[in-house]
A and B are shown apart, each in its own frame.
Chain A
Amino acid sequence: MLEHNQIAPDFSLPDLDGNMQSLQDYLSDGQNVLLVFLRHLG
């Protein structure tokens, strides 16, 4: 179980155009990230 103030696990996944995107890419732009993991309800 992840905890508050822990370093977020990095990942690299394809977007809908097939380009790989990583968490580090967004963070290196100086942005906060809100990650929403979909359920089958959407």
Chain B
Amino acid sequence: MAQLCQEIDKLQDLNTKVIIISFGTFPSVQAWLKETCTSFQVLLDPEREVYRAYGLERSFFRSWGLKTIMRYVRLLVAGRKWRGIQGDSTQLGGDFIIDKYGLIQLVYCSHDPTDRPAVDEMMKLLKGLE
């Protein structure tokens, strides 16, 4: 997310709004924003209805694999505060690019919480929409 935050000006130049959807609680999302990027617009989906509408799955085993645990350890070592897990920790995430006509141009459903699309690839796709 930090890398995406660094691209916020370029994203604006590409006429693109970044919308973060979270199933977390209001205080946890505020704390997360302070640690990552305050430029993002955040919407709350505690019941995860929109997660489901976009086909995002839940999985305990994919959510809590070794890669995820190691990532948490690295974040904590780097100084991130542990705030506990808010909401359904088995909910998997994803990334979608929707063009200005409302058509989906990228569907990326994460295999696990550490799995994200490359920011460079998303920037390239958005440049192609100009």
Contacts and interface: CB of A to CB of B under 8 A. Distances in A.
A21 B92 contact: no
- Dominant SS among interface residues on chain B: mixed
- Dominant SS among interface residues on chain A: loop
B94 A32 contact: no
A40 to B, nearest CB: 5
Contacts, number: 150
Interface residues of B, number: 65
B103 A32 contact: no
Contacts of A33: 16-19, 97-98
A9 B19 CA distance: 14
24 contacts: A3-B107, A4-B106, A4-B107, A7-B104, A8-B104, A15-B43, A21-B19, A23-B98, A27-B98, A27-B102, A30-B15, A31-B16, A32-B98, A34-B16, A34-B126, A35-B97, A36-B1, A37-B96, A38-B20, A38-B21, A39-B92, A40-B89, A40-B91, A41-B75
